[in-house]
Structure formats: structure tokens, C-alpha cells
């Protein structure tokens, strides 16, 4: 039953994504980033609805205001990364628009790559040092332009059991040098709903369940300036890691595997 359901879901996910990309393409090419993000939120809402996935945000009152608010200019948000569903959940739940760092190979997909550019997504090939440097440079320019940049400091997905991988240093050098507010987020449930490294299956399973996002307090630039990159990394690692055990138990209870 789960295999048939997953097959139907993948057909729907690909079809819905293709339809939205075609609709978004003209606006992406015109640089209408805010409009593209608003439609992308409709895309995320649609995918979550057809997949039977709920998103719960804990401490939502701590969220940074929308980037077009006069209360804040550029900012950095840091989160763990369990599956591509994290991005769908963030697109649905967080004030936007957001700029992400994404694998450069995604930009070679026709139409989809153009829409990523329209959203302000920053391409990076983590196997090449020069590419990582260019991506950080692009992130600096985006932040100075008043944009919010979402970074997954693990540099890849978390471990299969949901525990954190070590953080890469670059995100925290960027956070110190940018002198903007930094907010960390813990996401859980996406890895249980769509487990990584599924073996012995002919189609990757997508289960019903709940993705939970825990919003941590914003760190002001003055607070960040008192820490070096290693100290900042350690502090944010502890913040993101702290709720994972509790959230992991909830994810097991809330994921419906049939």
C-alpha cells in the first residue's frame, strides 16, 4: 500500500512542481522575486496538502519579521537539514522571500533552474573550493541588499537517525562578517516522512506525518561580535541539537508508515 501511495504521490509532486515552474518562469525571468515567492508558497501548501503532511511551528512569535518590514534588513537563518521536505516546510511556514544555497546541478534542470534563480537561490558545488567561495560572496551581496539567507551549516543532510552532522565553518564566518541578526531553527519529522538511504524499494517512500519547526531566539549582531566563528558555531549547534531527541520521539509517533 505504501509503495502505491508513494508512486501516486511522486507523480503528483512532479506534475504539480512542473506546472508551477512553467507558471513561475516569466516572473522569475523578470526578477519579480517577491511574487515568485508568494506563488512558491502556494506550491508548498499544495504539496503538503496532497502528501498528508502537517507543519507545526513552535515559538512562532520569535520568527524574524518579513524581509520587507522596516524593522529589519538582511538576516541569516540557520537550520539542520533532514530532506528536501525541509525546504517545502520552510517555504510554507516562514516569512519570505528567502534565499537558499542549493546544489549547482539543480540549476541545470530546464525551467526549474530558472525559477530557482528567480527565487534568489545561490548555486554551490561543495566539491569545489572556488564555488563555495563564490557562493559565500553571493550570500554577502544578498544580505547587504536586505535579503534573508537560509543556510544549512551541516553542508549536507543530517544523519539517517536525525542527529546532526558537524557544522561547516563558512556559515559562521559569514554571520560574523555580515553584522546582521542570526536566527537558528530546528526542523524534525522530514527525515521520518521521507527517510534517506531507502534500500530494497523500487520507489522512495513518502509517508504521512508532521514536520515540526522550533524557532530559537534571534542573536543580535552585538552578541555575535563577542564570539569567534568557532564559539558561534558551537552555540548554534547546541541550540539546534537540544530539541532533537524530543522531536525525534514525536516524529516516530506522528509518522504513518502505511
Domains of the chain: 2-254 (3.40.1130.10)
Global pTM reads 0.91
pLDDT tens digits for range 55-77? 999 999 999 887 665 555 689 99
Task: Name the H helices within 94-154.
Answer: 112-118, 129-144
Q: Which of 122-126, 144-148, 153-157, 218-222 has the highest mean pLDDT?
A: 218-222
182 in Cβ contact with 75 (< 8 Å): yes
pLDDT tens digits for range 7-30? 999 999 999 999 999 999 998 888
- Give the confidence band of 247 by pLDDT, cuts at 50, 70, 90: very high
Question: What is the average per-residue pLDDT within 170-184?
Answer: 90
Strand order in the sheet with 148-151: 53-58, 209-215, 182-188, 75-79, 148-151, 98-103, 122-124
Smallest CA-to-CA distance from 99 within 87, 114, 108 is with: 87
Smallest CA-to-CA distance from 211 within 44, 95, 97, 17 is with: 44
pLDDT tens digits for range 103-125? 888 888 888 888 888 888 888 87
Amino acid at each position: 500500500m505504501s509503495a502505491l501511495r508513494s508512486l501516486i504521490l511522486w507523480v503528483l509532486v512532479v506534475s504539480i512542481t512542473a506546472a508551477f515552474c512553467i507558471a513561475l518562469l516569466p516572473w522569475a525571468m523578470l526578477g519579480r522575486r517577491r511574487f515568485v515567492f508568494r506563488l512558491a508558497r502556494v506550491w508548498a501548501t499544495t504539496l503538503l496538502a496532497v502528501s498528508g503532511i502537517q507543519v507545526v511551528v513552535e515559538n512562532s512569535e520569535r520568527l524574524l519579521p518579513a524581509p520587507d518590514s522596516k524593522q529589519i534588513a538582511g538576516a541569516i537563518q540557520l537550520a539542520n537539514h533532514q530532506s528536501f521536505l525541509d525546504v517545502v516546510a520552510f517555504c510554507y511556514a516562514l516569512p519570505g522571500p528567502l534565499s537558499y544555497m542549493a546544489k549547482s546541478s539543480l540549476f541545470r534542470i530546464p525551467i526549474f533552474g530558472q525559477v530557482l534563480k528567480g527565487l534568489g537561490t545561490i548555486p554551490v558545488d561543495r566539491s569545489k573550493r572556488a564555488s563555495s567561495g563564490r557562493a559565500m560572496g553571493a550570500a554577502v551581496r544578498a544580505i547587504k541588499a536586505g535579503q534573508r539567507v537560509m543556510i544549512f551549516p551541516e553542508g549536507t543532510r543530517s544523519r539517517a537517525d536525525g542527529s546532526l552532522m558537524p557544522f561547516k565553518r563558512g556559515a559562521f564566518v559569514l554571520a560574523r562578517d555580515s553584522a546582521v541578526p542570526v536566527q537558528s531553527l530546528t526542523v524534525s519529522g522530514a527525515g521520518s516522512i521521507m527517510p534517506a538511504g531507502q534500500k530494497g524499494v523500487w520507489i522512495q517512500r513518502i509517508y504521512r506525518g508532521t514536520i515540526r519547526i522550533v524557532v530559537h531566539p534571534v542573536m543580535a549582531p552585538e552578541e555575535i561580535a563577542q564570539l569567534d566563528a568557532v564559539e558561534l558555531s558551537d552555540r548554534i549547534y547546541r541550540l539546534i541539537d537540544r530539541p532533537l531527541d524530543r522531536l525525534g520521539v514525536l516524529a516516530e509517533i506522528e509518522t504513518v508508515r502505511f
